[in-house]
Amino acid sequence: MSTTTPEAVDPRSFTSFAEFYPFYLNEHRNRTCRRLHFLGCSLALVCLAALAATGQPLWLLAGLLCGYGFAWVGHFGFEKNKPASFKRPLYSFMGDWTMYKDVWTGKIPL
């Protein structure tokens, strides 16, 4: 992962997700933060499946709460930074799922 100082970079300065993703990974150096992201994404997928199975819209809210709640605890409690979703919500969302895939494929340690 990159060692660029995250405070020196404004996430709004990136013009593509390919440029943003190394910054995103640098914001997730703490293993506990990554684990909380992974757990939140996994629970969000369970909630999405429950939404599909039941048609109950509260599962969508539960999925969003799981995904963002666990991630934000990771950032504020362990990583000690602000989530990139505050300034680049789409790229941050894409980063969550790219990192999730990268954990599953062994590119990023959990």
- Please give the Cα distance from 79 to 65 (Å, whole number): 19
pLDDT at 5: 47
pLDDT at 94: 97
The answer, as to whether pTM is greater than 0.75, is yes
What's the average model confidence in pLDDT over 26-40?
Answer: 97
Tell which wins on pLDDT, 100 or 7: 100
What's the average model confidence in pLDDT over 69-93?
Answer: 94
The helix (run of H) or strand (run of E) holding residue 51 is helix 31-54
4 pLDDT tier (thresholds 50, 70, 90): very low
Q: CB of 78 within 8 A of CB of 32?
A: yes
Q: Could you give the percent of the chain with pLDDT greater than 70?
A: 94
